[in-house]
Amino acid sequence: MSEASWKKNRKHRSQLTRSQQRAAWGLSAPAMILLFLFMILPFFMSVFYSFTSRQLVVSAKRPTSFVGFTNYEKVFTDKVTRQSFFNTLEYTLILVPSVMVLATLLALLVNRKARGVTIFRLIYFSPQVVTMTVVTVIWSAFFSGMEDGLFNMILKSFGIPAQKWLQDPNLAMPCIAVMSIWQCLGMQMIIVLGGLQFIPEEIYEAGTIDGCTSWQELIYITIPQLKNILVYVFISNTIYSLKMFTQVFMLTQGGPSNSTTTLVYRMYEEGFTNKRVGRTSALAVVFFLIVLVISQVQNKVTEDK
């Protein structure tokens, strides 16, 4: 290669890199600008304001000042906020195990080569397309607290007294969990089904030769092979339950007697009803840290392969 053509080639190369560089940043710019404005900036604002007394509307009467860790103290001492942690935990403890067990059972049920089985998969999946606001409208009709509500009439036919459902502090959260499970179960089933179909046929064949019963097959082959998928279902549903808001906002507004105030609903109340940006930001930071820890658990558990 002559000196001149080598130089020309190099020049051409660097031109290419430069135009690639420019194109890449140009193509990334719109997303980056929007993410900066609506994700990164608000995130750092949350951290910053969590140490201040910032109100939603700043006035001369209520200037913003640094308050140290007061807002964080309030997260754990404010009665309703503390209650919201327990409520969210209750919801998560009902929803996540139910979804994991039921989704796995459903996936096993539809993981057969039977005629028409794909149609049943679609049917089980279909509640997923119903917007959550509509889900709550439908189920609040079933969970009517009146004597002659649908579920109360069913209870009555078994001789069980009528319940107040969503107006009963002990039952409101389980009721909300039931409708949420109905909506999301089909989707989780599809995810587990995807995992089932990844399990190599040979393992089952080896099991059959060793004289495995179907129960042993499930315990020693299927579930261990599904481990990563089940961890994923566990984590994603946990995070999903921590974010629960719409159901409460539509049906109970946190009541009765704060039994359904969730973390996100509390943020809404503190931020927009009580107009305390500082306190809301502290709660938001704590909320973020919880989600962060949980999503790191997934990485740790699924890493060892």
Partner 1 sequence: MAMAQNQTRKYVSNTLFYVLYVAVAILFLAPLVFLFVSSLKDETQLISDMTTMKAFIPYGKMGLDNYVQVFEKMDFLHYFRNSAINAIIQVAAGLLINGMMGYALGLLEFKGRKFLISLMISLTIIPTEAVVINRFLVAVNLGVVNTVWALSLPNLAIPMYVYLFYQHFRGMPKDLVEAAVIDGESYTGIFFRIMTPLSKPIYATVAIMSFIRAWGDLLWPTLVVRDNTWMTLPQKLRSLNDSVYTYWGQIFAFSAMVTLPILIVFLVFQKQFVQSVAMTGIKG
- Per CB under 8 A, which of residues 183..222 are in contact with partner 1? 185-187, 190-191, 194-195
Q: HEC profile for the chain?
A: CCHHHHHHHHHHHHHHHHHHHHHHHHHHHHHHHHHHHHHHHHHHHHHHHCCECCECCCCCCCCCCECCCHHHHHHHHCHHHHHHHHHHHHHHHHHHHHHHHHHHHHHHHHCCCCCCHHHHHHHHHHHHHCCHHHHHHHHHHHCCCCCCCHHHHHHHHCCCCCCCHHHCCCCHHHHHHHHHHHHHHHHHHHHHHHHHHHCCHHHHHHHHHCCCCHHHHHHHHHHHHCHHHHHHHHHHHHHHHHCCCHHHHHHCCCCCCCCCCCHHHHHHHHHHHCCEHHHHHHHHHHHHHHHHHHHHHHHHHHHCC
Residues 86-145 contacting partner 1, CB under 8 A: 106, 109-110, 112, 114, 116-117, 120-142, 144
- Cβ of residue 137: shortest distance to partner 1, in angstroms? 5
Residues 235-274 contacting partner 1, CB under 8 A: 236, 239, 242-243, 245-246, 249-250, 264, 267-268, 271-272
- Cβ of residue 253: shortest distance to partner 1, in angstroms? 9
Q: How many residues bind to partner 1 according to rule CB under 8 A?
A: 95
Is residue 45 at the binding interface for partner 1, with CB under 8 A as the rule? yes
Find the binder of partner 1 among 149, 180, 230, 234 (CB under 8 A).
149
Is residue 28 at the binding interface for partner 1, with CB under 8 A as the rule? yes
- Cβ of residue 13: shortest distance to partner 1, in angstroms? 11
Is residue 277 at the binding interface for partner 1, with CB under 8 A as the rule? yes
- Cβ of residue 147: shortest distance to partner 1, in angstroms? 9
Residue 7 vs 22, nearer CB to partner 1? 22
Interface segment toward partner 1; rule CB under 8 A; list 67-75, 91-99, 207-215, 231-239: 231-239
Find the binder of partner 1 among 9, 10, 14, 16 (CB under 8 A).
16
- Cβ of residue 302: shortest distance to partner 1, in angstroms? 8
